[in-house]
Structure 1
């Protein structure tokens, strides 16, 4: 067994990291609902002229176990990652991955066409495409100078 030197600053850093992952989650706009699951997967949100894109990391979850709903302008992504079966002769030294039910909820901007939201799930990453309404897309108007 390898001995490592105890570093109290590393412990403090780990404590703050755990706290900040639950407090500092990014969202569309700046509003996000509080998650009520056991854990909340990480999400990246991007915007182009025509759509918002949300990418959520949820590895080791089957496509059928992911539920995506939109209710009153709130996008909900939920599911569950089940804990692996423990083997009798296996001794775990550290478990850092999250298990149990998860939920991410985002308030959607008014300029999203909710009926046309598209979702793909590949390689443990759920990608949602939220198209913007036609009236919200920027238009370039050329004005002649007289």
Structure 2
């Protein structure tokens, strides 16, 4: 078993389970993600439809953890002659994803297209980042 496979198998902490329980995995505040390795790059894709990534989302890396957080506000209105209906969907969301050791913060990129945020982190042989670093999001 490679080090990367061991990392995938062992990286879920009890705190991750507790956070996801309180965040409500099926609620509107949950962020659904896909994680995969494409060649020598970790790819994290997050479903974030209906948001403006430049205003509503922050992607940061600190202490070996990728954090995606933001806020969503969506409003749907229906006006009829004798009735009015409004549905609000709003709230903050956050997801923390542990990164394998050796990921260089400066090499991480993020893009947003068709409601999906994609974060790419090259997996070098050596090196470990320190401190926090904000990752800019480009539109694709």
TM bin (shorter chain) = 0.5 to 0.7
Q: Is the strand fraction higher in 1 or 2?
A: 2
* Matched residue, 1:100: 91
Give how far 1:85 is off.
5.0
Gaps (5+ residues) in structure 1? 1-27, 137-146
- 1:46 and 1:98 map into 2 onto residues whose CA distance is 30
Using the TM superposition, give the Cα deviation of residue 100 of structure 1 relative to its aligned residue in structure 2, in angstroms.
1.3
For the pair shown, which has the larger CA radius of gyration, 1 or 2? 1
Aligned to 1:134: 125
Number of equivalent positions: 107
Normalised TM-score (structure 1): 0.61
Gap runs ≥5 in structure 2: 1-7, 128-140
Deviation at 1:79, TM superposition (A): 0.9
Query: What does residue 31 of structure 1 align with?
Result: 12
- Counterparts of residues 35-50 of structure 1 (less than 5 Å): 35=20, 39-50=29-40
Q: Which residue number in structure 2 is paired with residue 78 of structure 1?
A: 69
Q: Pick one of 85, 98, 101 that aligns with 1:110.
A: 101
| Deviation, structure 1 residue 44 | 0.5
Q: Could you list the per-position Cα deviations for residues 5-59 of structure 1 after superposition, in whole angstroms to 9, with x for gaps in the alignment?
A: xxxxxxxxxxxxxxxxxxxxxxx55426325767221100001331100010100
> Deviation digits for residues 54-84 of structure 1, max 9, x if unmatched?
0101000002111011111111101111030
- Using the size of structure 2 for normalisation, the TM-score is 0.63
Backbone CA RMSD of aligned residues: 3.0
Quote the residue 1:61 is aligned against: 51
Indicate if the aligned counterparts of 2:67 and 2:96 stay in contact, CA closer than 8 A: yes
